[in-house]
């Protein structure tokens, strides 16, 4: 993707500020209208720039969207990295005990659950991500997100499940158990309106998020401990 940068130092700073403002506005517009429903004029208006600026900085609408995805990956990885890297460290030890592998699994799941907590930035990105994960985006963006974010996390989760269950990493049961574990965290984000209505909550602050996380992790722990018991019985 072409990235146009002004030569002068002051121009460079202003250029980066303009790029950041366009990305911030584009996230909101794409989240509200979807990729197909959003126009470069809509994004430019929301960002307070003229429409040609999107072509100059991003080579058009798809370029803007891809840059939004890149920024989203950075934000998500900043949040997910500690738990994923801790799990990778545990997996590197062939003698790592089951309880440590279970804690590593719960660490990743707990971080996923924490993304349901409300904040102005999270609300905008959540709407963008929901449309993205529904496939309402360019194929190039789906590929970038899968390769640069989802693949590493799903790979780690499968390795954890394989060690705890005794099944091969590519075994169908490993894949299904891994998806079931990961989607427990995502489910409450997708079903957030129903959760708020069922519990008569106005929003999910830190207190509410911690309660959801506690329940989800308790259920997940039972599942993971059950996999170990079944493995040991075989």
Q: Does 28 reside within a domain?
A: no
* Domain range for 200: 75-233
pTM of the model: 0.83
Give the CATH number of the domain where residue 203 resides. 1.10.357.10
Q: Residue 30's closest CA among 128, 129, 125? A: 128
Interatomic CA distance for residues 189 and 117, integer angstroms: 9
In a domain, 118, yes or no: yes
pLDDT reading at 8 higher than 50: no
> Is 2 a domain residue?
no
Please indicate, yes or no, if residue 22 is contained in any of the structural domains: no
Residue with tokens 């998020």, as numbered in its chain: 209
**Any domain includes 108:** yes
Contacts of 209 (CB under 8 A, 6+ apart): 113, 114, 116, 117
Q: What mean pLDDT, rounded, does the chain reach?
A: 89
Structural domain contains residue 63? no
Kindly report the three-state secondary structure assignment for every residue of 170-216. Answer: CCHHHHHHHHHHHHHHHHHHHCHHHHHHHHCCCCCCHHHHHHHHHHH
Task: Give the model's pLDDT for residue 108.
Answer: 95
Residue 101 lies in a domain: yes
Is the residue at 66 inside a domain?
no
**Number of domains observed in the structure of the chain:** 1
The reported pLDDT for the residue numbered 104 is 97
How does pLDDT run across 28-62, given as a tens digit for each residue?
Answer: 999 999 999 999 999 999 999 999 999 999 999 99
* pLDDT computed for residue 191 by the predictor: 82
Q: Is the pLDDT of residue 123 over 90?
A: no
């Amino acid at each position: 993707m072409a990235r146009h940068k002004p030569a002068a130092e002051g121009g460079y700073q202003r250029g980066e500020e303009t790029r950041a403002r366009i990305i911030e506005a584009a996230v909101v517009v794409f989240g509200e209208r979807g990729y197909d429903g959003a126009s470069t004029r809509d994004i430019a208006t929301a960002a307070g720039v003229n429409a040609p600026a999107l072509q100059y900085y991003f080579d058009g609408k798809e370029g803007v969207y891809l840059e939004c995805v890149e920024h989203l990956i950075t934000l998500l990885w900043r949040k997910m990295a500690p738990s994923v890297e801790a799990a990778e460290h545990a997996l590197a030890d062939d003698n790592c005990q089951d309880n440590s592998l279970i804690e590593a699994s719960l660490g990743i799941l707990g971080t996923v659950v924490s993304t349901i907590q409300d904040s102005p930035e999270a609300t905008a990105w959540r709407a963008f991500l929901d449309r993205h994960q529904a496939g309402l985006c360019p194929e190039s963006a789906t590929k970038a997100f899968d390769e640069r974010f989802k693949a590493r996390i799903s790979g780690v989760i499968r390795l954890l499940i394989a060690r705890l269950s005794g099944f091969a990493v590519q075994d169908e049961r490993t894949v299904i158990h891994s998806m079931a574990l990961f989607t427990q965290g995502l489910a409450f984000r997708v079903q957030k309106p129903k959760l708020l209505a069922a519990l008569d909550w106005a929003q999910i602050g830190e207190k509410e998020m911690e309660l959801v996380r506690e329940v989800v992790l308790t259920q997940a722990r039972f599942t993971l401990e059950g996999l170990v018991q079944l493995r040991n019985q075989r």
